């Protein structure tokens, strides 16, 4: 056994050298334990037993990178860009020329008068409307950022029932059942949760609902 | 005592001098030629979903560029025509043509055609067709003889130095605005007539500073 694996403590009070061991295999000096000791790493720790090794992987990666560079030496454009025109062009729209729409954005119980720049039907920039008293041509950070909300992937695109996307027809069917169930009790236990609003139309609809179901709750946030 | 250096070492200075000249020359020349847009971009000729022939439509039938690329005088982009523009004629002409099937499919299904862009400027370069066309720069100046192209091919490098060559001296490339879409127009032979023509044209002042295009 090599000195690396034995610890001699000469003396130790009695002048006797002792042999220390770290495993039963070492004590027995079996061939398996000797092979285990002589390997730097356990089997499979530095290289997989089969398949591609780390070094081969790096070699292949480097080779494919340089091949990709070579492929650039050709009249081949990457990425290939597509032009997708209209099928039937809208009569008053010119591609590349933005259109500006005056609109209002409800926010809480007020509304902002805005001008929205739109490219081929896609809104890109929102500014205050100079002719509208609520903004007078200026805007806030919230208004500027609201254009991002239009492209928010989390924005609900359809009606949902317990998180499952449903169609509006499903809602109408479901509502018909709810209406039947609450016809007798005046809407006890029925609640509508909505954003706070100042829309006269929605207010009228809400009051109609309250007339029909006097015990229902309409909560806003 | 044996020789430390074999006799062929005598040729080493000459070989080193030759390599010292040839390697830089080849490297510079190689980059100059192979990395230039004249090599990498000119001649780009992608296959389109429908093999629309400008040679037939423009060269032989005589369609004006603006029949399809209608917005070129009023917008930054010269629009690719909607499917409807093709169907204006092809609902009557060549109704059973095999190669026109994608156009008919697009018109009936409402799915747009996906053409491959040939002339592409980087996004950091601002370019508008409107100001060039109204300043009397002909289509042919940048796009070449499209009326002779079976497949549209990029003819100009569209590189910055190529743009600047004209921006610094637009005169030779200007023509009367009425001749902008004329593929066969040549400047008048008589220098005085040409001079008068240029002087009567609207004065232009193409930007040559960075922010003119990189804005």
User: SS3 for A48?
Assistant: coil
Tell me the pLDDT tens digit for each residue of A86-96.
998 888 888 88
ipTM of the complex model: 0.79
State the pLDDT confidence band at A10, using cuts at 50, 70 and 90: low
Tell me the pLDDT of chain B averaged across its residues.
90
CA within 13 Å, CB half, A182 = 20
Residues 6+ apart with CB under 8 A from A180: none
**Chain A residues touching B85 at Cβ < 8 A:** 89
3-state helix, strand, coil in chain B (%, to 5): 50, 0, 50
What does the alpha-carbon distance between residue A34 and residue B97 come to, in Å, rounded to a whole number?
81
Instruction: Give residue A1's pLDDT.
Output: 45
User: Predicted confidence band at A16 (pLDDT cuts at 50, 70, 90)?
Assistant: low
Rounded distance between C-alpha atoms, residue B20 and residue B12, angstroms: 12
Using a CB-CB cut-off of 8 Å, the residues of chain A touching B117 are: 80-83
**With bands split at pLDDT 50, 70 and 90, how would you rate the model's confidence at B8?**
confident
d(CA B190, CA B196): 10
Task: Tell me if B44 and A97 make a contact (CB, 8 A cut-off).
Answer: no
Q: Which residue's structure tokens are 């006799």?
A: B7
Interface test with B, best of A79, A91, A95 (most B CBs within 10 A): A95
What are the Cα distances from residue B83, in Å, to A120, B34, B60, B78, B114? 16, 38, 22, 15, 10
Give B102's contacts in chain A (Cβ within 8 Å).
Answer: none
Nearest-5° Cα angle at B63, B60 to B64: 130
Chain B: give the shortest CA distance to residue A91, in Å.
11
Residue A73: per-residue pLDDT:
52
Read off the pLDDT band of B58 (50, 70, 90).
very high
Answer yes or no: do B34 and A87 touch at CB < 8 A. Answer: no
Q: According to DSSP H, which parts of chain B are helical?
A: 12-34, 37-40, 54, 65-68, 83-90, 101-109, 129-134, 139-143, 160-168, 191-200, 210-213
CB spacing of B41 vs A75 below 8 angstroms: yes
User: pLDDT tens for residues A99-155?
Assistant: 999 998 888 788 889 999 998 889 999 999 999 888 888 988 989 999 998 898 888
Closest-CA distance of chain B to residue A83, Å: 5
- Give the chain B residue whose CA is nearest to the CA of A89: B82
Lowest mean per-residue pLDDT among A18-22, A53-57, B128-132, B191-195: A18-22
State whether residue B44 sits within 8 Å of chain A by CB.
yes
In contact, A25 and A36? CB cutoff 8 Å: yes
């Amino acid at each position: 056994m090599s000195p690396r694996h034995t610890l001699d403590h000469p003396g130790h009070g009695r002048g006797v050298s002792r042999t220390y061991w770290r495993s039963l295999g070492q004590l027995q000096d079996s061939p398996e334990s000797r092979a285990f000791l002589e390997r730097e790493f356990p089997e499979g720790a530095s290289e997989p037993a089969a398949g591609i090794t780390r070094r081969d992987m790096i070699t292949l990666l480097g080779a494919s990178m340089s091949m990709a560079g070579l492929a650039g030496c050709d009249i081949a454009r990457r990425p290939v860009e597509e032009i997708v025109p209209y099928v039937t062009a809208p009569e008053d729209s010119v591609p590349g020329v933005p259109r500006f729409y005056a609109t209002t954005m409800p926010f809480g119980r007020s509304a902002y008068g805005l001008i929205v720049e739109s490219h081929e039907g896609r809104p890109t920039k929102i500014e205050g409307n100079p002719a509208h008293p609520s903004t007078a041509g200026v805007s806030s950070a919230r208004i500027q950022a609201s254009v991002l909300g239009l492209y928010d992937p989390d924005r609900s695109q359809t009606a949902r029932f317990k998180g499952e996307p449903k169609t509006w027809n499903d809602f109408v069917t479901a509502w018909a059942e709810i209406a039947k169930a609450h016809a007798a009790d005046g809407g006890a236990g029925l609640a509508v949760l909505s954003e706070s609003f100042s829309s006269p139309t929605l207010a009228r609809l809400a009051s109609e609902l309250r007339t029909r179901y006097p015990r229902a709750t309409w909560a806003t946030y | 005592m044996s020789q430390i250096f074999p006799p062929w070492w005598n040729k080493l200075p000459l070989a080193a001098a030759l390599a010292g000249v040839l390697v830089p020359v080849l490297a510079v020349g190689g980059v100059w030629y192979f990395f230039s847009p004249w090599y990498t971009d000119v001649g780009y000729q992608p296959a389109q979903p429908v093999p629309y022939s400008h040679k037939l439509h423009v060269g032989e039938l005589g369609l004006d560029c603006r029949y399809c690329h209608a917005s070129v005088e009023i917008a930054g982009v010269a629009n690719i025509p909607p499917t409807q523009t093709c169907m204006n004629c092809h609902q009557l002409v060549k109704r059973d043509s095999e190669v026109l099937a994608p156009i008919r499919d697009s018109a009936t299904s409402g799915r747009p055609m996906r053409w491959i862009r040939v002339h592409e400027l980087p996004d950091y370069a601002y370019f508008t067709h409107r100001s060039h066309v109204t300043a009397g720069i002909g289509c042919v100046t940048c796009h070449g003889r499209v009326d002779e192209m079976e497949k549209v091919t990029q003819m100009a490098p569209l590189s910055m130095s190529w743009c600047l060559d004209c921006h610094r001296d637009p005169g030779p490339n200007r023509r009367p605005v009425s001749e902008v879409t004329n593929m066969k127009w040549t400047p008048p032979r008589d220098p005085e007539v040409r001079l008068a023509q240029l002087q009567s044209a609207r004065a232009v002042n193409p930007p040559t500073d960075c922010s003119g295009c990189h804005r």
